[in-house]
Structure 1
């Protein structure tokens, strides 16, 4: 078998295997409604996005950091006069997000089951450790993965480390996800295949231009198309 023949497939989790951004958008709307007496909805959303970006370095990705950013934004927009009742409501919406049932996306289970055993499947996700572990457990998909890696950020160095630690050359690996910025581009940079599976909702922080001139860049409409893509790659 050629040294670069596909042996391992990494999968993103949020909005690749199960719904995630949808619940953030719903909570953003609730948050804007809570502060509607102090500012317009668009302004609130813009200020919240600024806070999220500013706080990624401190809180990382996930619901807990998002909740803290909502609290910070509420304090800023109200000029330090945010009512305690609104702070309670923000904390409650954050807890509701953490309790929300996991909704797997179409074609996920059958695709993973088809590929499991033929390739080394690695879940590579970023975010809060407890929340990501909760979602994986509730999804019922855990037994289909050979390894689970929960990281603070997805960079070329991270992919290199994960694939190398599995005894694999990155050129014999593939990363599948809905984020060009986090899942696809950095994986291609270390020689892996990068498969973009668009989701109708993707956080603006994850937007990037598709690397269409890269021969290892692939685009599929949904996860059910992945086995056929792999077969075509030989």
Structure 2
């Protein structure tokens, strides 16, 4: 009989708001590029995403990688015509994104506190180490977690390593997050449980996944306050396995 021993939480857009600031950054980037290219051409507006994808293995996730990809995309799209002044403006977009305030998702502190009363809890967040550590510190949530993991990628290999270090079987683990691709799909593939709490906006890359709405061992919630009840339901289902 399985019992849920550890519950994992994603960081960005699960504990605190993040993607809003990246969308603002992308809009500011488009405003700069509009002086050079036709933004009505979807190939121009989507070029940044294609550059970010090909650079992930080199720059990783986060605002720093986004900024470098913005500079590269701007140079490519303008045929190297972009001015040094506008490249500097792109650098400042990245700086502002790195310094954005940390605003908690409504009800998430209370939800983590409630879960931590009955389970070990681990924060598993991906991205730039320096930026993620800063957001964790500013969130005021660090003391609620028994363990914190900042990883470069969230895939089955990463989750396998983390679960082995926690000495927990996948069937005894639940991952809570807003991203099907990064938070839910790899854990389900290993035999764990997922709780999906969608955020109102999602980076295009994170929408690419193969999880069905009716996938087993998956619950979807509208808000963080529903999490304690969802975990009780998972406990009941896990006990029957």
> TM over 0.5: same fold?
yes
Distance 1:143 1:107, change over 3 A: same
Does residue 143 of structure 2 align to residue 134 of structure 1? Answer: no
Aligned residues: 232
Alignment RMSD (CA, Å): 1.2
Q: Deviations over 1:154-211 (max 9, x none)?
A: 1112112111211111110001111111110110111110111111111111112433
Whether 1:30 aligns to 2:28 is yes
Deviates more, 1:32-41 or 1:121-130: 32-41
Alpha-carbon distance, 1:117 to partner: 3.5
* CA–CA distance in structure 1, aligned partners of residues 233 and 77 of structure 2: 53
1:73 maps onto 2:97 in alignment: no
Q: Matches of 1:138 and 1:110 in 2, distance apart?
A: 17
> Residue 198 of structure 1 aligns with which residue?
198
**Paired position in structure 1 for 2:239:** none
Structure 1-normalised TM-score? 0.95
Paired with 2:117 and 2:232, the residues of 1 have a C-alpha distance of 15
Partner-residue secondary structure (3-state), 1:54: helix
Correspondence for 1:159: 159
Match of 1:143 in 2: 143
Unaligned runs of 5+ in 2: 237-241
Q: Tell me, in whole angstroms, the C-alpha distance in 1 between the residues paired with 2:212 and 2:43.
A: 32
C-alpha displacement of 1:44: 3.6
Tell me if the contact between 2:36 and 2:82 (Cα under 8 Å) persists in the aligned partners: no
Structure 1 residue aligned with 2:186: 186
Q: CA deviation at 1:43?
A: 4.2
Runs of 4+ in 1 over 6 A off after TM superposition: none
Task: Name the residue aligned to 1:229.
Answer: 230
SS in 2 for 1:10: strand
Equivalent pair of 1:32/1:44 in contact (CA under 8 Å): no
The alignment's TM-score, normalised by the length of structure 2, stands at 0.93
